[in-house]
C-alpha cells in the first residue's frame, strides 16, 4: 500500500469558511481570543466572548468585505480573515499553538492580500509579534491606544 497518498490526505487544509462551518470558526475565535486576552481582561469581560457573540463578529466582518478561512487538520484548528491587504483574526486553538499552524495560515493569508500585507498586534501578545517578525513584518509606527498601557501596533510586510 502506498502511504504517500495517506500522508497527503492527512495534510492540513485551508479553505473558505462555509455557512455550515461558521460555528466551528466562531468557537476557535472565542477560545483563542479569551486565551490571548486573559492577562488584560477581567473574567467577566472574557466570558462575554462566547462562540455565539464571535459568530456575529465574524459575520459582520464578512458583510464588510472580509474573506474568512479555516485551517483543518482532521478537525478545525485555526482561522484567519483578509480584508483587502489587512490580515485579521488569525487565531489558533491554544492547545494547537506552536505546531506550525499559525505560520501556515499567515503564509496563506499573505497570498490572499491585494497589496502589501498589514496586520495589527496587541502589545501583550509577544508570541504573535515573534511570528510576524520572523516572516518579515515590521512596525509601521501606527498605534491604537486602548488605555491602561494596552495598545495595538500595525505591522507591514514590504517584501513578499
pLDDT tens digit string along 17-68?
999 999 999 999 999 999 988 888 899 999 999 999 999 999 999 999 999 9
What confidence score (pLDDT) does residue 14 get?
Answer: 98
Beta bridge pairs of residue 14: 71
Q: What pLDDT is attached to residue 144?
A: 94
What 3-state DSSP class applies to 109?
helix
Q: Which three cell numbers stand for residue 127?
A: 508570541
Q: pLDDT digits over 99-151, tens only?
A: 999 999 999 999 999 999 999 999 988 889 999 999 999 999 999 998 888 89
Q: Please tell me whether residue 25 adopts helix, strand or coil conformation.
A: helix
pTM of structure: 0.89
Spell out the residues 6+ positions from residue 119 whose beta carbon is closer than 8 angstroms to its own.
86, 87, 88, 90, 132, 137, 154, 155
Amino acid at each position: 500500500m502506498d502511504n504517500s497518498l495517506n500522508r497527503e490526505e492527512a495534510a492540513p487544509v485551508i479553505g473558505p469558511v462555509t455557512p455550515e462551518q461558521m460555528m466551528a470558526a466562531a468557537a476557535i475565535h472565542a477560545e483563542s481570543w479569551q486565551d490571548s486576552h486573559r492577562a488584560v481582561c477581567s473574567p467577566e469581560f472574557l466570558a462575554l466572548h462566547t462562540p455565539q457573540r464571535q459568530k456575529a463578529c465574524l459575520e459582520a466582518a464578512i458583510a464588510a468585505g472580509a474573506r474568512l478561512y479555516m485551517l483543518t487538520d482532521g478537525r478545525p484548528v485555526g482561522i484567519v480573515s483578509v480584508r483587502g491587504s489587512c490580515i485579521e483574526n488569525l487565531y489558533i486553538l491554544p492547545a494547537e499553538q506552536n505546531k506550525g499552524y499559525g505560520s501556515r495560515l499567515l503564509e496563506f493569508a499573505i497570498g490572499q492580500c491585494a497589496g502589501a500585507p498589514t496586520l495589527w498586534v496587541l502589545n501583550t501578545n509577544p508570541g504573535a509579534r515573534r511570528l510576524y517578525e520572523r516572516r518579515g513584518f515590521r512596525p509601521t509606527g501606527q498605534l491604537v491606544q486602548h488605555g491602561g498601557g494596552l495598545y495595538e501596533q500595525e505591522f507591514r510586510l514590504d517584501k513578499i
